[in-house]
């Protein structure tokens, strides 16, 4: 089989619609818009074989109905959310098989950004929508800090080499905030230089690796003394558990936006 390629299709302000391509077959993750996906497929003479969705926000599902008019394909999406055109509801522990590309994904429930958000893990890659971002995490629109902390902790148990594909290019903004939490984190300072150079060339900073996220993403570091101390300074009192640390750092970031 040909090598798997993962192509970012930019959409809206800062979304990436991820297209997985092998030979002449493709799968799209979170097609918020159909037009750029259809253009790419036509230009490269690719046949769409499946659609994967992580959560119900329109910038992730807005293109589904138009895509299925062109390609009669299965649409996988979270069981507990309303996903237009969904044919295959999925939840924790389900497997998604895409034989045309020789791919198989495990579904992971990651509530927090939305109540039914799922992620897809397969081929050493994680497609996590708006749960984890490069050096950041999604806002808690429908979930609690405890839910999101548990979701991110689950993702942290994936292998360090896992390539993480989030749905937005928020990295430099996230790094700016992360430096407020951990100004002396050497890995973070190095990451900033690297990702600034990447963006200066208009290239995506995504994918990133789970290993790099664990070293630099403040939302994956609620057990680190530096992060605990920064969160305590921000709220002005002691914090007794990692969920409180996580929730405080999330609220702190919300205040900056
Ligand atoms: Zn979202
Ligand atoms: Fe989004």
What mean pLDDT is predicted for residues 161-189?
98
Q: What is the CATH number of domain 5-165?
A: 3.60.15.10
Q: CB of 226 within 8 A of CB of 188?
A: no
Count Cβ atoms below 10 Å from residue 209 Cβ, excluding itself: 17
Ligand nearest to the Cα of 29, by number: 2
Domain ranges of the chain: 5-165
Residue corresponding to tokens 């299925």: 68
In whole angstroms, what is the distance from residue 86 CA to residue 66 CA?
A: 13
- Residue 1's pLDDT is 75
Enumerate the active-site residues: 55, 57, 59-60, 113, 130, 168
* C-alpha 184 – ligand 1 centre gap (Å): 31
- What's the Cα-to-Cα distance from 110 to each of 18, 44, 209, 248, rounded to whole Å? 19, 33, 18, 19
- Residue 257's pLDDT is 79
- CB crowding 61-80: b at 16 or more within 10 Å, else e: bbbbeebbeebebbbbbbbb
Ligand nearest to the Cα of 14, by number: 2
The predicted model scores a pTM of 0.98
pLDDT at 2 over 80: yes
> In a 3-state reduction of DSSP, which class is residue 233?
helix
* C-alpha 4 – ligand 2 centre gap (Å): 25
* C-alpha 114 – ligand 1 centre gap (Å): 7
* C-alpha 175 – ligand 2 centre gap (Å): 18
Asked if the peptide bond before residue 207 counts as cis, ω within 30 degrees of 0, the response is: yes
Which residue, among 148, 102, 94, 103, has the nearest Cα to 125 in the 3D structure? 103
Ligand nearest to the Cα of 81, by number: 1
* C-alpha 127 – ligand 1 centre gap (Å): 13
Instruction: Give residue-wise pLDDT tens across range 58-115.
Output: 999 999 999 999 999 999 999 999 999 999 999 999 999 999 999 999 999 999 999 9
């Amino acid at each position: 089989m040909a090598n798997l390629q993962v192509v970012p299709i930019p959409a809206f302000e800062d979304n990436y619609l991820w297209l997985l391509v092998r030979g002449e077959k493709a799968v799209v993750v979170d097609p918020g818009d159909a037009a750029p996906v259809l253009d790419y497929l036509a230009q490269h003479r690719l046949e769409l074989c499946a659609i994967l969705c992580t959560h119900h926000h329109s910038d992730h599902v807005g293109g589904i109905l138009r895509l299925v008019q062109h390609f009669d394909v299965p649409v996988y999406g979270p069981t507990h959310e309303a996903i237009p055109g969904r044919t295959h509801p999925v939840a924790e522990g389900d497997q998604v098989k895409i034989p045309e590309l020789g791919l198989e994904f495990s579904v992971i429930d990651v509530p927090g950004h939305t109540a039914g958000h799922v992620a897809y893990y397969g081929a050493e890659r994680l497609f996590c929508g708006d749960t984890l971002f490069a050096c950041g995490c999604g806002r808690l629109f429908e979930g609690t800090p405890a839910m999101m902390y548990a979701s991110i902790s689950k993702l942290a148990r994936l292998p360090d080499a896992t390539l993480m594909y989030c749905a937005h290019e928020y990295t430099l903004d996230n790094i700016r905030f992360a430096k407020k939490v951990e100004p002396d984190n050497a890995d973070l300072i190095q990451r900033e230089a690297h990702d600034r150079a990447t963006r200066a060339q208009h290239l995506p900073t995504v994918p990133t690796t789970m290993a790099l996220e664990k070293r630099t993403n403040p939302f994956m570091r609620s057990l680190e003394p530096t992060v605990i101390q920064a969160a305590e300074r921000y709220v002005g009192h002691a914090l007794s558990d990692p969920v409180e640390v996580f929730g405080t750092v999330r609220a702190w970031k919300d205040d900056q936006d």
